Amino acid sequence: MSLLGFSRFISPSSNRAILRLSSHLLTSSLHLLPRSFPPSVCTGRKISNLTVRNYSWKAEISATETMEPHKEVAEVNPNLYPIIEPYSTGFLKVSDIHTIYWEQSGNPSGHPVVFLHGGPGGGTTPSNRRFFDPEFYRIILFDQRGAGKSTPHACLEDNTTWDLVSDMEKLREHLDIPEWQVFGGSWGSTLALAYSQSHPEKVTGIVLRGIFMLRKKELDWFYEGGAAAIYPDAWELFRDHIPEDERHCFISAYSKRLNSDDLETQYAAARLWTTWEMMTAHLLPNQENIKRGEDDKFSLAFARIENHYFVNKGFFPNDSFLLDNIDKIRHIHTIIVQGRYDMCCPMMSAWDLHKAWPEADFRIVADAGHSANEPGIAAELVAANEKIKNSIKNKGL
């Protein structure tokens, strides 16, 4: 079977029919929900800021409001901002080995926001600029160590979470930014939490998407057979590259090949590692995204750096490190966006974060998976930035 072959099992018309049916079932069942959430959703501090939206039917459930059957709400603006080009770019040497690429777009005098890409190893793309109002925001993108345009490419030496946190501070100082908003999804949410907990005084707001805290249960779900229950066809391509006697730990087995002395061995493992994630990143298969696994340059950095971080458990001292340190950032205006059917970063992690941090605004997109480019996720991310923007404007009055 080719890397793209699995998606032909489900026709586009079947995909649409399944999505319409799922949306209908969800909306039709709203009247069965209780008129107030049970005590487990509430905390001693306040009613939790939980919102669920279905973008096929535009139905919303909010824990902060009394629910009415089939309640319709005003549509959230789903439009990304227009494509823009950077007004400045550069490279910053952050260590004896690493140099990172950075760029700025939007309003040079605007409110600074830093975009943290996923992976780790994914790099930035021009479309990442479109989540932000370019008239209000000074938009900073950078490629983390070894990713994108940063050099050396796919390098694992001196490449840890805490090196990236340090790089962010060096970049902030280099650009003469006193403080900034932090925006990150998937691995970017991990780094956003780690950075904000290390430097809370430098953070004006946080937007998180597809929560990933690099805990064992999260890694086991995606790399040791959990998500395979939903995508057995895609999983077989990933699984069958590893001999049966090494399948007790796929992360370790792939590490061996991604760090081989033979470059072709690295490429073969990197393509399969990357394709497994790309196949599962959308609620419905996205061929353009899946094809990224065939790009040897992209997939080598993506797979090698991801695997390196996962083997080392994110370089955190314990499994619950990010949850244990929420008190350091509890006061920061934060919005969490999570796709209900996220296969890469399942909703259990966002839910655990929500329970530890009920003050944060938690928005569930009922008909979305993992990718920031899915319509419902993108709409909520734009809305989150708009909400923080308006909050900042109101404070300035």
Residues in contact with 21: Cβ distance below 8 Å, sequence separation at least 6, in sequence order: none
- Catalytic one among 98, 282, 308, 370? 370
Tracing tokens 């306040």 back to the chain, one arrives at 46
CA distance 231 to 33: 30
User: Hey, what's the torsion of the CAs at 357, 359, 364, 370, to 10 degrees?
Assistant: -50
CB burial class (10 A; 0-12, 13-18, 19+) of residue 323? middle
**Nearest to residue 361, comparing CAs of 320, 326, 332?**
332
Beta bridge partners of 337: 209, 363
The 3 state secondary structure assigned to 62-131 is ECCCCCCCCCECCCCCCCCCCCCCCCEEEEEECCCCCEEEEEEEECCCCEEEEEECCCCCCCCCHHHHHH
Instruction: Kindly state the DSSP code that residue 223 receives in the 8-state scheme.
Output: H
Give one DSSP letter per residue of 11-47, joined into a string: -HHHHHHHHHHHHHHHHHTGGGS-SS--GGGB-SSSB
Task: Identify which of 141, 90, 110 has the alpha carbon closest to the alpha carbon of residue 396.
Answer: 110
Of 7, 23, 150, 186, which is the active-site residue? 186
- What's the Rg (C-alpha) of the chain? 21
Which of 143, 342, 352, 361 is an active site residue?
342
Which residues in 100-138 are b (16+ Cβ under 10 Å) and which e?
bbbbbbbbeebbbbbbbbbbbbbbbeeebbbbbbbebbb
186 a catalytic residue = yes
Catalytic machinery residues: 186, 342, 370
